[in-house]
Structure 1
Amino acid sequence: MKNLKMIFLKHSFYKLILLVLLVSASAKAQIQKVEPPFWYAGMKNPELQILFYGKNISQYEASVSNNVVIKNVEKTENPNYLFVTIDTKDVKASELVFSFKNNNKVAFKQKYTLKERRANSADRKSYDASDLIYLIMPDRFANGNPKNDSNASLTEKGNRALPGGRHGGDIEGIIKNLDYISSLGATTIWSTPLCEDNDKEYSYHTYAQSDVYKIDPRYGTNDDYARLSAEMHKKNMKLVMDYVTNHWGISHWMMKDIPTKTWFNQFENFTQTNHRREVIPDTHASKIDQEVCIDGWFVPSMPDLNLRNSLVAKYLTQNAIWWIEFANLDGFRVDTYNYSDPTAMANWAKSVTNEYPNFNIVGEIWMHNQASLAYWQKDSKIGEIKNYNSNLPSVMDFTLQSQIGSVFNDDTPNWDSGLIKFYNNFAMDYLYPNTNNLLVFAENHDTDRMNHTFKYDLAKYKLAMTLLATVRGIPQIYYGSEIGMGGDKAKGGDADIRQDFPGGWDGDKNNAFTAAARTSEQAAYFDFSSKLFNWRKSNEAVHSGKMTHYIPENNTYVYFRYTDAKTVMVVFNNNAKLQTIKTNRFKENIKNYKSGKDVITGKTFDLASEITLEPKSALVLELE
């Protein structure tokens, strides 16, 4: 009898173990995704929308522990999604437990963590006009960990021999070369996107993301990205994330099981955007033109997100905030900013900056008209005409960028070409709410390479860098140009303007990361750039000073940047021959200063009567 009892007990115990295992397996099978994967206590906006994804999960009733209030539960026509909004106000950092019931019985549970925020997280300082931003395409910069060049879970494998393939650059490569970037005078890094992109080809640009909560394993891990940020902060550097609100990639996990038919913008037949962003502020625009501009897709491989759907808008807002907290970010650059619904984007920007009042966000507004650009900057008077405020702190100065590529090639200017283009550009600054918060640049990963445009003329490169270092706004340079790198986009496509940085891969014959291994040409580019931008670091007159400029004469252009305590005089000679300028015309800015010291050569110039400049040259003079 005793033996029978023992057998019965053992049998019951094994049945219990089997039942526990089955319940556990059921929970695992039921919850396939939770996004955000965790959150932070003490956020200004206490409402948190959590996406639960799993087979038929919407048939379950959700509840949560710790007396946390569920404010809303939203279901869609897809039963595999459940959006649960909770109130985290006054909820301490802790582990919550969500229970999912069916017929009043708990079918499975899901743990969810609220983490502690960093001290003073909300008051973090962002990038501004005192910074120099260094733009990197990580796949083409440096391969710090060759073991992650390919990944079994992702389609495209590493192939450096393929111009448009994945070459192996990664986060570790950036970390290993932070001292190089800092020595150039750069204080901030903007990397093109690093989240997973599982496209079959051309995935290296990473703008067609397949998982926006996960760093692409070929770049590293989420923890590697946070480590990059931490290593940069040790060196007083800032990290800017390239954020994409307009589209994802066709391989995004949601495309296999769309949450709702309105998650993405869809037409009866594939419709590409018309790229005519002028229609958005246009008071005469037709509705169909605006619809195609905003809702049309870039290409068939980039599904267009519908930010008018409140679930989508909340998802993207929380994703952005999650990355700021997780990686301790210092700012955003937002891709294709004005291709999305303008009201939704204004709400997105407002939500982010409400949480982080000092956080800077620069939007890619690829337009070549000052009024069109100014419309999109926060508190624009132009936007007020349509009762619109973008809440976007900064925009990219594409009008100036397009002029840089042509002006320094104009040896014999006329009424509307040559240096007058710069004068006219800055003469329109009254349109902008905040000119100090414009991003100024000569090129980026999408444009023609500056050095190619200048036919690798070092003198013209110096002119362009001098302009960026001394005008209003936040200067941004593109990796490799500081050592003379170029590329012919017309001939070789995007891959040619995104070449590998020499020395970033084991076995490279030339290593431009080190002074000893640079060629004489690379050294000439780098040494000038480093001296100029390291000087810029500590000069408040070019960070935030006022600007007075003078109408160009004889292909020369003079402007001053100044505060009450400091004045910098900048002089351009765009001629192919020597040029002498009389200084009496500039007395209102020279005032009682007697001389100016060139920040590059250390040579002192007498300001009493005239200054002579070499052909195709510029002077940056600190007045004394």
Structure 2
Amino acid sequence: MKTCCKQQLLWFISFLWVVHVSAQDSLQVYPSHWWVGMKQTKLQLLVRAPDIRSARQVTLKPYAGVKLTSIHTYKNPNYLSIYLEISRTAAPGKLIFNFNNGATRVTQMPYTLKPRSTQNGKTRIQGITSEDFIYLIMPDRFSNGDANNDRITGLRDQSLDRSDYFKRHGGDLKGIQNHLGYLQQLGVTAIWLNPVLLNDMPDRTEHGYAFTDHYTIDPRLGGAKAYHELIDSIHKRGMKIIQDAVYNHIGIEHFLYRDMPDSSWFHWWPAYTNTTYKDQVLMDPYAALIDKKRMSDGWFTQVMPDLNQGNPYAASFLIQHAIWCTEEFGLDGWRIDTYAYNDLDFMNRCNKALLDEYPQLHLFGETWVHGIPNQSFFVRNRYNMPYKSNLPGVTDFQLNLYGIVPALTQGFGWTEGVNRLYLTATNDFVYTDAMKNVLFLDNHDLSRFFSIVGEDIAKLKMGLAWLLTFRGIPQLYYGTEILMKNFANPDGLVRLDFPGGWPGDASNKFEPGGRTDAENDVHHYVRTLANFRKNSSALKTGKLMQYVPEDGVYVYFRYDTQQTIMCIMNAADQEKELDMRRFEERTKPFTKARSVIDSTQKDITNKLKVPGKTLWVAELKPR
């Protein structure tokens, strides 16, 4: 998300309270409700109302299994925190808090404890594994299913201009729900959405990475009702949902910044200080303390205040929100934005809290860093270091930047071309479980892969075949299957609308008749491979064996006791002939190989010819 927000605003820091809460506003509480039967029995309620701190006494009406343990007040009189202990035996119902402001006024606050949700008697939360195929969507740019929410009265950003890629376009959650059939037919099993929380910022709200209210789903996307309906529809299809988390920062219009509980919720500097984006200092044995501080405590941009996760009240707010979203919506996974910029001890606590409550949940962090040691530092690894991450997986930038991209854009050399992909994969020994890493060709921050490979469809197919056959969890960015292109200069160019997602679009790429022959060809290619993968134990959970590339050809196998898949990547322009005796360790029981794409069969007992610019994927067959 490094390029998502380009605003250049004047820096202004003030330790005076900027209060937007009027005397007429009702009392607000975060989390807005909670559940009984949670493993975590302690709960922090952040209460916000004008001069709420002046309440002389806060009491809880007796409720079996729930105890008010303490109250915390803040410098800002508009906040206080209530701490509860909720027994495992507490029943669902309504708590009643009384705020006694003296002889003249007692304010009551009801608070709901709900029963935990299930689906067909089982937990809704299934988790994300290497058996899944993720499809990444920027909701504002995929499909407009409800034109009534395109503009919302009272929000700062009233733009609606599809000709400008920095303004809102009107895509929403209903639009995604309308096309779940398209995604399922494509072979997708999990959907990751760029952030869906409210971003009440003046502009550049289309990407969603500047939260202004953690407990409100953006009404321009349809709000909480549409989000519930979308996720329920996803789960009914046997598919899964991933939410995008942002812990490091918020939008500058967030009420927690404009009306902050106290200044210690954020990182401050004598003058505006940006993060250096230099993750290396976090593991550098020679690093200066000031460089470490600037990396972690510097602001991401001038309009994204940096949260102080060392503040226990702020940390609890963030962790409880993550648990709340998981339970409220039935999330199967979290992608964690700008992972390296967070307080890493906080991230370990947050990850543990989520995984203690939901062991099946998958968490993977954005690690847009350079170097395998750097990336593996942030995930479960085999290093003996003072800091040990408990993050299960990462977005595997190394196999993108130093793997598939050079494999298909460089000539073959000792460390170039397909050798670079091979060499990067050889370093998987650093991870505790590399199968939990998420593979991708591109995303909302990177240039479209089709453009990276020079709009060469053969090379795009090679990338897609690698994505769907290599180890890990594959992720496809929306529109790659219909040849969407452009370089991320600026980032808005890689976030264009999916054609056909809006009424009146010149073409509808959701339907075969709206696609060109080339687009249908690539779409069919993805669909064939992805649906084959759904039933392939070797590709979903099997082992990986790779061979040192020779003459520009890289060969790897995915295999288990039930199935063996052979993948031959010939990145050269010309046909290559392989002596199959070299691969007998994996091919010995087999004599034939059947193409996954077109079912053609070849003999593999002697020589095998593979066309240029091809990743030939074949299932091995016995005599």
Q: Normalising by structure 2, what TM-score?
A: 0.93
Aligned position for 1:375: 377
Asked if the contact 2:453/2:459 (under 8 Å) is kept, the reply is: yes
Aligned position for 1:45: 40
Q: CA deviation at 1:544?
A: 1.5
Aligned position for 2:503: 506
The alignment partner of 2:221 has SS state of coil
Structure 2 Cα separation of the partners of residues 54 and 349 of structure 1: 31
Aligned position for 1:148: 149
Would you say 1:554 and 2:551 are equivalent positions?
Answer: yes
More divergent stretch after superposition (155-164 vs 44-53)? 155-164
The alignment partner of 1:489 has SS state of coil
Aligned position for 2:12: none
> Deviations 1:54-110 (Å, cap 9, x if unpaired)?
111112121112333112211111111011011111221101111011237752101
Give unmatched runs, 5+ long, in structure 2. Answer: 1-20
The alignment partner of 2:155 has SS state of coil
Query: 1:535 is aligned with what amino acid?
Result: F
Q: CA deviation at 1:27?
A: 12
Aligned position for 2:11: none
Runs of 4+ in 1 over 4 A off after TM superposition: 120-123
Structure 1 Cα separation of the partners of residues 154 and 116 of structure 2: 32
Aligned position for 1:458: 457
Aligned position for 1:91: 90
Asked if the contact 1:27/1:108 (under 8 Å) is kept, the reply is: no
Structure 2 Cα separation of the partners of residues 265 and 457 of structure 1: 47
Q: CA deviation at 1:404?
A: 2.0
The alignment partner of 2:445 has SS state of coil
Query: Which of 537, 560, 564 is matched with 2:561 structurally?
Result: 564
Would you say 1:366 and 2:368 are equivalent positions?
Answer: yes
Structure 2 Cα separation of the partners of residues 332 and 167 of structure 1: 25
Aligned position for 1:17: none
The alignment partner of 1:535 has SS state of helix
Q: CA deviation at 1:562?
A: 0.7
- Count of aligned positions: 593
- Report 1:389-538 matches (<5 A): 389-402=388-401, 403-410=403-410, 412-490=411-489, 493-538=490-535
Structure 2 Cα separation of the partners of residues 357 and 397 of structure 1: 22
Structure 2 Cα separation of the partners of residues 280 and 69 of structure 1: 41
Would you say 1:244 and 2:246 are equivalent positions?
Answer: yes
Structure 1 Cα separation of the partners of residues 456 and 257 of structure 2: 48
Aligned position for 1:191: 193
Query: 1:141 is aligned with what amino acid?
Result: F
Would you say 1:612 and 2:609 are equivalent positions?
Answer: yes
Structure 1 Cα separation of the partners of residues 28 and 124 of structure 2: 31
Structure 1 Cα separation of the partners of residues 368 and 330 of structure 2: 28
Q: CA deviation at 1:124?
A: 3.1
Asked if the contact 1:275/1:293 (under 8 Å) is kept, the reply is: yes
CA 1:138–1:27 in structure 2 vs 1: closer, same or farther (change >3 Å)? closer
Asked if the contact 2:446/2:487 (under 8 Å) is kept, the reply is: no
Query: Which of 562, 571, 576 is matched with 1:574 structurally?
Result: 571
Query: Which of 79, 82, 86 is matched with 1:81 structurally?
Result: 79
Structure 2 Cα separation of the partners of residues 539 and 28 of structure 1: 62
The alignment partner of 1:358 has SS state of coil
Q: CA RMSD in A?
A: 1.5
Asked if the contact 1:27/1:109 (under 8 Å) is kept, the reply is: no
Structure 2 Cα separation of the partners of residues 602 and 547 of structure 1: 23
Asked if the contact 1:549/1:559 (under 8 Å) is kept, the reply is: yes
Query: 1:305 is aligned with what amino acid?
Result: L
Aligned position for 1:58: 53
Asked if the contact 1:160/1:167 (under 8 Å) is kept, the reply is: yes
Asked if the contact 1:306/1:312 (under 8 Å) is kept, the reply is: yes
Aligned position for 2:128: 127
CA 1:291–1:121 in structure 2 vs 1: closer, same or farther (change >3 Å)? farther
Would you say 1:319 and 2:318 are equivalent positions?
Answer: no
> Deviations 1:230-261 (Å, cap 9, x if unpaired)?
00011111000001000110111222211111
Asked if the contact 1:121/1:325 (under 8 Å) is kept, the reply is: no
Q: CA deviation at 1:516?
A: 2.3
Structure 2 Cα separation of the partners of residues 352 and 99 of structure 1: 31
The alignment partner of 1:475 has SS state of strand
Q: CA deviation at 1:28?
A: 8.2
Structure 1 Cα separation of the partners of residues 27 and 250 of structure 2: 20
CA 1:28–1:79 in structure 2 vs 1: closer, same or farther (change >3 Å)? closer
Structure 2 Cα separation of the partners of residues 452 and 393 of structure 1: 31
Aligned position for 1:221: 223
Give unmatched runs, 5+ long, in structure 1. Answer: 1-25
The alignment partner of 1:551 has SS state of coil
- Report 1:265-344 matches (<5 A): 265-344=267-346
Query: 1:135 is aligned with what amino acid?
Result: L
Asked if the contact 1:154/1:198 (under 8 Å) is kept, the reply is: yes
Structure 1 Cα separation of the partners of residues 22 and 168 of structure 2: 37
> Deviations 1:33-57 (Å, cap 9, x if unpaired)?
2111111111100111111101111
Aligned position for 1:20: none
- Report 1:570-609 matches (<5 A): 570-609=567-606
Structure 2 Cα separation of the partners of residues 171 and 262 of structure 1: 36
Asked if the contact 1:123/1:357 (under 8 Å) is kept, the reply is: no
CA 1:166–1:533 in structure 2 vs 1: closer, same or farther (change >3 Å)? same
> Deviations 1:495-520 (Å, cap 9, x if unpaired)?
11101000001110110001222121
Q: CA deviation at 1:368?
A: 2.3
Query: 1:238 is aligned with what amino acid?
Result: K
Query: 1:215 is aligned with what amino acid?
Result: I
Aligned position for 1:113: 112
Structure 2 Cα separation of the partners of residues 27 and 204 of structure 1: 29
